[in-house]
Structure 1
Amino acid sequence: MSNATGGSTDGLRAKLSRLGPTWIAGAIAAGPASMAAVLGAGATFGYALLWVVVLSALLGATAQYLSMRLGLLTERGIVGAVEEHLGELWAWVLVIDTVLASGLAQIVIMKTVAEVSGTITGFDPRLWGVAWALALAVGLAGGGYRFLETGAKAIVSIVVLAFVATAFLVPIDPGAAAGGLVPTIPAGIDGALLAAGVLGGAVHITLITMQSYTMRARGWTRDDYDIGLFDVGTSMLVAFGVFSVATFLVAASVLAPELSPGGQLQASAAAASLGPLVGNFAETLFMLGLWAAAVSTLGANTVVPPYLLADKLGWETDVSDDRFRAAVVAVALLGGLGAFLGGNFFSLLTQMLTFGLIGTPFALAIVLYLLNDPEAVPETNPAIANVGGLIVFGIASVLAGSYVREQLRSGLGEPVPTFFVAFAIAIGAATVALVGKFVREARRSAAGVDAEADV
């Protein structure tokens, strides 16, 4: 019996040692943007949106499962697969969509890291921005994928532990929390927009597109399908799910509505509000968790634009290629400009999340298209995977459409929302065209099968 137990333990240890690709995606998901949305939902409406937080982990895991499946079955990067099976135009649309979303994220997340670092240490956040940009450039350009993966797993673990520990210190109402598992959207459009933000943090274009590249960097092939499933489950379903629920419970239990992102939330104010209620230790844990969430997202997000550009331009997608290394350094250093950006970073994070959500349905449509193309994959998607994918695609599309509708109602006087809406219309048209292309191809295929049957 002891031998069997030892073998089981060794097997689990071996599996855990091979985890990594989806943990990098999880490092982005368990970031300050998701944290801002979850804090806002809890502080504004109490426990009412707990069901959305739980659903976000399920939908996020579904999206990453589909991305994992596509990457392993094609054994290549997503941009290369798109170019081969759909054409160069569609590949460029995907690259532009993702690079814009991740580039904006890089700047805003760097502002977050710099300001939180400044709050903790008392030093000028602008100096922290420069220091973090240089450290990121040196670390990723020199250490490559292994540096990124090791950092992601370590820091995500810190984030999860910090917020779980904080949740144990706050006075949670179990009955009210259980009531929050019943689906309901409070306060009309305000509640719907907060729910959209929570879901948008888990289902995001950067997470979907980077999966194939991190798995290639790990050396995974079709034979690694089982470890891929385990990777998705432990990262998005467990680690990200626990982070989201713990953060939400803290906000719903002790944060006041005026401290929500919609009420000019400041990191120091939110942390300080915990002190009188549950002690300074909880305040410290909160700031540590926010800092770790921002750092983990910053490192993982840095490699997203270089991965897609390298694949499109025919470079190697690792630091052995000087062009790829230069692209990583450029993204890391350009992100440093975020430390000099004005405004409340929680508000900017919400805008960043919205922009990423706008581009996400197109990426999901690409993944589902290729997974159902017998020329692209050796085995097309099972029905249950298609159902899950269509649910995620539908929810993301409705949320993106809701943002555009509400923004048009409120007017487009400012340049940022005007750009967001223009981009949403353009990428929405591309998504509709892609869906139409798939429907036409499916009809032709069905007609061909019917003709052969008649013969």
Structure 2
Amino acid sequence: MSIRNLSPVDYVAGQVQQYGLAFVMVASYFGSGSVFIASQAGVMHGYTLLWAVVGAALLGFMAQDMSARLGIHGEPLMIFVREKLGRPLATAIALFLSVGCVAWTLGLVAAVGAGVSFLTGGAIPWQPIAVATTFVAIGVGLLAYDTVENAMIAMMLSLMVVYVIVALPSGADPGAVAVGFVPTADTFGALAMAAGLLGTTALWPNFFLESILVHQKGWTDESDLPEARTDLAVGYAVGGLTTVAILIAAAALLRPMGFTELETFMTPGEALVEVLGVWAMVLFIGGVIAAAFNSIIPIMWAPAYMIPQAAGYDVRQGDRLFKLVFAGLTGVGIFSPVISWALDLSVVDMVILFPMYNGIFGLPLAAALLFWAVNDRETMGEYRNSRKLNVVNAALVLLAIVLAALSVRDFLALLTGGGF
């Protein structure tokens, strides 16, 4: 049947079936932490770091392109690790990385709880909402892949629309916004925040997931690579535009109001009431809740694949072993209130510190493994990285290592000292 004979609904459904994997990848990185970091960047540095948002999207695209090529021409990343390093070491790596995924979930369910509690005026504390969110996430994550992918597409497109609607009436200066997309001398005073924007976008669980899920889309040979890259381009464009909208809203509305930093990721929503009205606050906080919940599913899919693969089992999403690992590890989220109490961490502390843990300990290791895999002659054959690709891809590995080295001392001090 030709495109001309298709109804609009059938055409859209066909496009969703053909593409959509990148929206799962983008949904995983675009959580409450990303909303907070983008808002903080706008408050502290105005439009100066818009270029870093674009760079972050390009960095995410680059990492996922490596993973897609590995899945199409070689094998899933954790299977590569097992074949090269053996089951015991591969299993140890998978378990070590999975600790980071569980930590992420602890922060994300807390963020959902805090957001819902805020919208209800504090009538319900965040702790029971976080526990309930954990069980809902388990139920959603066990649905069929196509169902979850369609939900992620709808959620990410909705988030983009929500934050663009909030940003449009902000009164941002078009000239200043345009200048923000070009690094200037002011950038040198904002490198730490730029690193935060870059680091939050290159999410290491996606390195493993993309290499697995390309086969879910039927991408199995070189001719499928352009389609996979188109998918990534669309997904990361949506994620980047959403981040740009949040940063612009914060720079145009909160910075002139005298904000120099944000105490919580709820602060932008509270401040928006004074300028745009309650509707803007509800949309902003609703977006935070959706973004946080969105992230849980793909992040926790990663260990559900990685641990069995490292141990020598070939699992699919519907397999019993996959479901047991996913439900068991995601279920640890019910202890989010306990972790908050035991470590004396607020919700915003967990939202920032637990992703930071992954950036310090998970990202360098996963990036190095991915870089090794796409350069392995035995695995990739004639499709291994060229010199030009290596120059570009090595930037991800170097950035991950530098960020980890610069951040580890502060992270440990914050984690053991009761947060910020």
Q: Report the TM-score when normalising by structure 2.
A: 0.87
Q: What is the aligned residue count?
A: 406
Query: 2:119–2:282: 8 Å Cα contact kept in structure 1?
Result: no
Query: 1:140–1:147: 8 Å Cα contact kept in structure 2?
Result: no
Aligned partner letter, 2:153:
K
Cα distance, 1:21 vs structure 2: 2.4
The 5-angstrom pairing of residues 68-147 of structure 1 reads: 68-74=68-74, 76-88=75-87, 91-92=90-91, 94-121=93-120, 122-141=123-142, 143-147=143-147
Instruction: Measure, in 1, the Cα distance between the counterparts of 2:384 and 2:70.
Output: 10
Query: 1:108–1:349: 8 Å Cα contact kept in structure 2?
Result: yes
Cα distance, 1:164 vs structure 2: 1.2
Distance 1:332 1:407, change over 3 A: closer
**1:63 paired residue number:** 63
Deviations 1:322-344 (A, max 9, x none): 22211111122211222452533
Distance 1:46 1:384, change over 3 A: same
Q: Report the TM-score when normalising by structure 1.
A: 0.81
**2:26 paired residue number:** 26
Query: 2:77–2:373: 8 Å Cα contact kept in structure 1?
Result: no
Distance 1:57 1:128, change over 3 A: same
Cα distance, 1:224 vs structure 2: 2.9
Residue number among 389, 407, 410 corresponding to 1:407 in the alignment: 410
The 5-angstrom pairing of residues 336-347 of structure 1 reads: 336-340=334-338, 341-342=340-341, 343-347=345-349
Structure 1 window deviating more from structure 2 (175-184 vs 212-221): it is 212-221
Aligned partner letter, 1:172:
A
Instruction: Measure, in 2, the Cα distance between the counterparts of 1:319 and 1:245.
Output: 34
Instruction: Measure, in 1, the Cα distance between the counterparts of 2:317 and 2:59.
Output: 32
Aligned partner letter, 1:205:
W
**1:328 paired residue number:** 326
Deviations 1:91-113 (A, max 9, x none): 34541442122111011011001
Deviations 1:381-423 (A, max 9, x none): 233322221122222222222213x639xxx6666489xxxxx
Residue number among 297, 300, 303 corresponding to 2:301 in the alignment: 303
Distance 1:285 1:387, change over 3 A: same
The 5-angstrom pairing of residues 302-381 of structure 1 reads: 302-340=300-338, 341-342=340-341, 343-358=345-360, 359-378=362-381, 379-381=383-385
Cα distance, 1:59 vs structure 2: 0.8
Instruction: Measure, in 1, the Cα distance between the counterparts of 2:68 and 2:333.
Output: 28
Q: CA RMSD in A?
A: 2.8
Instruction: Measure, in 2, the Cα distance between the counterparts of 1:39 and 1:183.
Output: 19
Aligned partner letter, 2:313:
W
1:245 counterpart = 2:244: yes
Query: 2:108–2:295: 8 Å Cα contact kept in structure 1?
Result: yes
Aligned partner letter, 2:149:
E
1:150 counterpart = 2:154: no
Q: Which runs of 5+ in 1 are unaligned?
A: 419-455
Query: 1:103–1:305: 8 Å Cα contact kept in structure 2?
Result: no
**2:231 paired residue number:** 231
Aligned partner letter, 2:325:
A
Cα distance, 1:170 vs structure 2: 1.1
**2:197 paired residue number:** 198
Query: 2:90–2:310: 8 Å Cα contact kept in structure 1?
Result: yes
Larger Rg computed on CA atoms? 1
Structure 1 window deviating more from structure 2 (243-252 vs 351-360): it is 351-360
Aligned partner letter, 1:54:
V
Q: Which runs of 5+ in 2 are unaligned?
A: none
Identity rate, percent: 24
Instruction: Measure, in 2, the Cα distance between the counterparts of 1:393 and 1:241.
Output: 21
Structure 1 window deviating more from structure 2 (289-298 vs 349-358): it is 349-358
Distance 1:167 1:335, change over 3 A: same
**1:390 paired residue number:** 394
Cα distance, 1:232 vs structure 2: 0.9
Query: 2:315–2:322: 8 Å Cα contact kept in structure 1?
Result: yes
Query: 2:47–2:180: 8 Å Cα contact kept in structure 1?
Result: yes
SS in 2 for 1:35: helix
Deviations 1:89-138 (A, max 9, x none): 65345414421221110110110011112222343322222222222222
